[in-house]
């Protein structure tokens, strides 16, 4: 059904009405980052005349097409370097000024798109009476390799392009979302995995200040942000893979995008073996756009009064254990190499903290904690000194996830937050007749997310269920068949990781 026409700052958009929700897909928020704009900061779109269709999703960013991405797409999307689009779900394009929730998808900064079916914002918008926005941003080498110190004189390359895309998107939302029934002064950013890392990073990006009011980081890896020296080795190896030598940098501007994607994929695979626990692609501390490591910024009190909700899943590492190669340490050899590369003296202390677990569970626990849980705890501890912070852990396992031995694995909470059990991943989760039980968990989780977007507090207005996180009590909400509050879960493991060195 044809939806209402809205007027943005640059022109008119025609969306659709679907099951009583207004939807606009494939909305361009920045110019195509192609030709002369490849490896350059995003630029605002030009004005257009007439009414532009916003019915179909825009192209997905260039990326290796893994199974998760393929199965989560409708089949209509194409892949193209011209990919800076967003999608909007709203109860109505009226003057109600609803809270806005901007979703930043994950995928190790090399895969993913805002159009995946498990990110469908329909039920979140409808159940919560909020406006939901999902976005694309540049991935892999096109979005997250830093060539600024390698390029020759007169060759202009900029860094942190995926992060700059996210800021450009938030600026678009600030200027335009009121026309879609949203409140530009009440925006919550939320994301998972690399999208969660984007959230914990954006909290420290000066140009993002004033563009959002709340932040939700699901399974972030807050320390997966690197200095220019560490990041340079990825850029140099990428050039070696492509056979581009000094004085040939101009080739990067015209190289077929398929070759860039293939080289990005090879770099990712090599890095997972050579430097387990690090990412080949991610934000780079440049002293300007990203002034400092986000965790260091937060520990220094450089915060902006933004409430934070942050958490991880009980069995994060099981999903990665099925990958070849795994993107995080999931076996003894990878864990040994990770400690050798970062903090050899800490290895015995850390491994001793897991002696009560079966061997495989201990190994997966170390990989999970090194990448997601412990850095999230560090971030929450530091953040709670200055701003309101809430922490969760997602433990709920459906029958299908128990049978598959994935448990509450990485990304498991996403269909619960969006209530997308009809997505490809969602159907897998709720097979074996567990849909009704999963919906109960989803209603509770989605309720907390919506409360947080509306009030800056995940608790309902009538009373506190979920106490704030602090360094004394470490109160954590555990999502399970029945939710409960736990004080300092796995406290001995948390203490064992204190002061451990990381990749920088």
Using DSSP bridges, classify how beta strands 226-227 and 284-285 pair: parallel, antiparallel or unpaired.
parallel
Long-range contacts made by residues 30-35, C-beta under 8 angstroms, separation at least 24? Answer: 30/84, 30/165, 30/168, 30/169, 30/172, 31/84, 32/81, 32/82, 32/84, 33/81, 33/82, 33/83, 33/84, 33/138, 33/142, 33/161, 33/165, 34/81, 34/82, 35/253
pLDDT score of 139: 98
Q: Are 482 and 414 in contact (CB under 8 A)?
A: no
Q: Give the residue carrying structure tokens 């890392």.
A: 197
Please give the Cα distance from 145 to 268 (Å, whole number). Answer: 12
Active-site residue set: 193, 316, 410
The pTM (predicted TM-score) of the whole model is: 0.97
Strand partners, 12: 7, 51
Q: What is the DSSP letter of 19?
A: T
pLDDT score of 71: 65
pLDDT tens digits for range 5-54: 999 999 999 999 999 999 999 999 999 999 999 999 999 999 999 999 99
pLDDT at 340 over 70: yes
Helix 161-176 and helix 194-202, axial crossing angle in degrees, nearest 10: 70
Coil/strand/helix, residue 236: helix
- Helices in 222-326 by DSSP H: which ranges? 228-242, 250-254, 257-274, 294-299, 317-321
Position with higher pLDDT, 433 vs 288: 288
Using DSSP bridges, classify how beta strands 389-394 and 2-7 pair: parallel, antiparallel or unpaired.
unpaired
pLDDT score of 2: 63
pLDDT score of 240: 96
pLDDT tens digits for range 161-197: 999 999 999 999 999 999 999 999 999 999 999 999 9
pLDDT at 236 over 80: yes
**Exposure letters 406-426 (e unless 16+ CB within 10 A, then b):** bbbbbbbbbbbbbbbbebbbb
In order of 13, 14, 54, the CA distances from 48 in angstroms are: 10, 13, 13
Whether the CA torsion 52, 58, 61, 62 is positive or negative: it is negative
- Which of 158-167, 432-441, 466-475 is predicted least confidently? 432-441
Paired tokens of 424 = 């490809």
pLDDT score of 151: 82
CA nearest neighbour of 411 among 196, 126, 214, 224:
196
In order of 23, 26, 28, 122, 181, the CA distances from 55 in angstroms are: 8, 7, 12, 14, 18
Mean pLDDT score of the chain: 95
Q: Give the residue carrying structure tokens 């965790």.
A: 295
Q: Residues 237-249: what's their mean pLDDT?
A: 92
Please give the Cα distance from 367 to 374 (Å, whole number). Answer: 10
Q: Give the residue carrying structure tokens 């903090």.
A: 343
Instruction: Place 68 in a pLDDT band, splitting at 50, 70 and 90.
Output: low
Please give the Cα distance from 107 to 488 (Å, whole number). Answer: 29
pLDDT score of 75: 66
Paired tokens of 416 = 């619960």
Q: Residues 474-503: what's their mean pLDDT?
A: 97
Please give the Cα distance from 361 to 354 (Å, whole number). Answer: 9
pLDDT at 90 over 80: yes
Residue 385, number of CB atoms within 10 A of its CB: 13
Please give the Cα distance from 403 to 432 (Å, whole number). Answer: 10
Coil/strand/helix, residue 330: coil
Q: Residues 123-130: what's their mean pLDDT?
A: 98
pLDDT score of 152: 76
Paired tokens of 283 = 């934000």
Please give the Cα distance from 40 to 141 (Å, whole number). Answer: 12
pLDDT at 433 over 90: no
pLDDT score of 74: 65
Coil/strand/helix, residue 21: strand
pLDDT at 69 over 70: no
Instruction: Place 462 in a pLDDT band, splitting at 50, 70 and 90.
Output: confident
Coil/strand/helix, residue 115: coil
């Amino acid at each position: 059904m044809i939806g209402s026409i809205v007027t943005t700052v640059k022109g008119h958009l025609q969306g659709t009405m679907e099951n009583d929700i207004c939807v606009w897909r494939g909305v361009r928020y920045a110019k195509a980052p192609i030709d002369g704009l490849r490896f350059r900061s995003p630029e605002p779109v030009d004005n257009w005349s007439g009414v532009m269709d916003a019915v179909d999703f825009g192209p997905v960013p260039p990326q290796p097409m893994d199974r998760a991405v393929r199965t989560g797409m409708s089949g209509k999307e194409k892949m193209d370097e011209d990919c800076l689009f967003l999608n909007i779900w709203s109860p109505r394009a009226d003057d109600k000024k609803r809270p806005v929730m901007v979703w930043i998808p994950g995928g190790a900064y090399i895969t993913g798109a805002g159009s995946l079916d498990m990110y469908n914002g329909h039920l979140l918008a409808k159940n919560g009476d909020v406006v939901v926005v999902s976005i694309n941003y540049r991935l892999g080498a096109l979005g997250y390799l830093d060539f600024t110190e390698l390029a020759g004189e007169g060759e202009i390359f900029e860094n942190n392009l995926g992060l700059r895309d996210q800021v450009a998107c938030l600026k678009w939302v600030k200027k335009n979302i009121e026309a879609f029934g949203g409140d530009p002064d009440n925006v919550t950013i939320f994301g998972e995995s690399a999208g969660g890392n984007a959230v914990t990073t954006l909290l420290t990006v000066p140009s993002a200040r004033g563009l959002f009011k709340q932040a939700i980081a699901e399974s972030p890896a807050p320390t997966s942000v690197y200095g220019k020296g560490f990041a340079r080795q990825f850029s140099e190896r990428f050039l070696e893979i492509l056979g581009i030598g000094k004085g040939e940098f101009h080739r990067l501007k015209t190289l077929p995008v398929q070759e860039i994607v293939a080289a990005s994929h090879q770099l990712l695979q090599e890095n997972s073996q050579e430097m387990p626990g690090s990412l080949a692609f991610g934000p780079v501390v440049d002293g300007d756009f990203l002034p400092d490591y986000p965790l260091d910024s937060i520990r220094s009190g450089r915060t902006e009064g933004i409430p934070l909700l942050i958490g991880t899943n009980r069995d994060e590492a099981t999903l990665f254990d099925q990958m070849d190669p795994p993107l995080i340490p999931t076996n003894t050899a990878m864990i040994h190499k990770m400690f050798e590369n970062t903090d050899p003296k800490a290895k015995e202390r850390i491994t001793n903290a897991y002696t009560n677990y079966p061997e495989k569970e201990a190994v997966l626990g170390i990989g999970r904690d090194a990448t997601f849980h412990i850095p999230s705890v560090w971030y929450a501890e530091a953040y709670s000194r200055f701003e309101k912070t809430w922490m969760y852990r997602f433990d709920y396992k459906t029958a299908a996830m128990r049978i598959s031995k994935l448990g509450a694995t990485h990304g498991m909470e996403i269909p619960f937050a969006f209530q997308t059990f009809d997505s490809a991943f969602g159907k897998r989760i709720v097979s074996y007749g567990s849909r009704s039980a999963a919906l109960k968990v989803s209603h509770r989780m989605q309720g907390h997310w919506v409360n947080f977007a509306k009030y800056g507090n995940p608790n309902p207005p009538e009373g506190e269920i979920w106490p704030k996180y602090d360094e004394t009590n470490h109160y954590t909400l555990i999502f399970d068949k029945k939710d409960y509050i736990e004080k300092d879960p796995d406290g001995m493991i948390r203490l064992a990781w204190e002061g451990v060195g990381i990749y920088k």
